[in-house]
Structure formats: structure tokens, C-alpha cells
């Protein structure tokens, strides 16, 4: 009794041999850079969103502190991301605080992303007209 040959199968060929492993290596070599680029973009997006939220919180804290007559720059600096630039613009009955920060990409030679947030608060009635 002889063994039956299945159509399309080569005699003696088993799955998982060197031919299959070679194609897996080629697919991995082609797909791995794309996967790493996607991971870099995802990590950068998460860092930028986190820095944007910190800038918004810092601007809000600075505007509220300045509206109460306190030091708005120091209040904003406690919440702002490291290296953020804080600017206080005082009007007659309102205060605006702008916070800007740069987010470095995961790579030393890549450009930075700049995020910013503004917040405006009305001055408290007893501080209107008095300089901070």
C-alpha cells in the first residue's frame, strides 16, 4: 500500500522549514521600521497632550491667582511643565495668562512641538485698579 499524495504538496516538505522562516524574516524586516515609527508617533502624541493639559492647568491657576492679587507667575510655575514660558497680561478688569512649553520628540535631532494655553479671569472687586 502506497501513501496518497495530496495535490500541491511536495514530497518531503514539512511546514515550518527554512523556506517559511525566511519569509517571516523578510516580513519582519519590512514591518519593524513602520511599527517603530508608529510607536514613536504615539508616544509623542501622548507627551504633547499631557503637556497641553499641564499648560492649561497652569494658565488657569496663574489667572486665578493674579485675579485675587497674588503672584500669578509663581502659581502657574508650580503646575506648568518644566521649562515653560509664562506670560501675564493685565488689563483693566481682567487678567490673561499664557503658558507655552516645548515637547521634545523621542530623538535628539528631531524638532520640538510647541504647545500653549491661555486663561483669562476677571479681577476680584477689591483688586480692580490696583497693580500686582
Tell me: pLDDT of 105 over 60: yes
| Average confidence score pLDDT of the chain | 82
* CA distances for 110 relative to 11, 31, 34, 52, angstroms: 54, 22, 17, 19
Tell me: pLDDT of 87 over 80: yes
Q: State mean pLDDT over 10-36.
A: 71
- Grid cell in block for residue 12: 518531503
Return all residues near 59 (Cβ < 8 A) that are at least 6 apart: 76, 97, 98, 99, 117, 118, 119
Q: Is 129 helix (H, G, I), strand (E, B) or coil?
A: coil
φ, ψ (nearest 5 deg) of residue 49 = -65, -40
Tell me: pLDDT of 10 over 70: no
- Grid cell in block for residue 102: 516645548
CA distance 117 to 101: 9
Q: What is the pLDDT of residues 24-33, one digit of tens each?
A: 788 888 888 8
Q: Calculate what percentage of the chain has a pLDDT beyond 70.
A: 77
Give how far the C-alpha of residue 106 lies from the chain's centroid of Cα atoms, to the nearest Å.
Answer: 11
Residue 95 is predicted with a pLDDT of: 93
Q: What is the pTM (predicted TM-score) of this model?
A: 0.70
Q: Are 106 and 92 in contact (CB under 8 A)?
A: no
- Grid cell in block for residue 4: 496518497
* Residue bearing the bigger pLDDT, 15 or 101: 101
Residue pointed to by grid coordinates 507627551: 47
Amino acid at each position: 500500500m502506497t501513501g496518497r499524495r495530496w495535490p500541491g504538496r511536495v514530497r518531503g516538505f514539512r511546514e515550518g522549514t527554512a523556506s517559511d522562516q525566511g519569509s517571516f524574516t523578510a516580513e519582519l524586516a519590512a514591518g519593524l521600521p513602520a511599527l517603530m515609527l508608529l510607536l514613536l508617533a504615539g508616544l509623542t502624541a501622548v507627551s504633547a497632550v499631557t503637556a497641553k493639559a499641564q499648560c492649561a492647568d497652569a494658565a488657569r491657576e496663574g489667572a486665578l491667582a493674579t485675579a485675587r492679587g497674588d503672584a500669578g507667575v509663581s502659581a502657574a510655575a508650580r503646575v506648568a511643565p518644566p521649562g515653560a514660558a509664562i506670560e501675564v497680561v493685565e488689563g483693566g478688569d481682567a487678567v490673561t495668562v499664557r503658558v507655552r512649553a516645548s515637547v521634545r520628540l523621542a530623538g535628539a535631532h528631531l524638532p520640538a512641538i510647541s504647545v500653549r494655553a491661555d486663561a483669562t479671569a476677571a479681577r476680584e472687586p477689591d483688586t480692580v485698579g490696583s497693580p500686582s
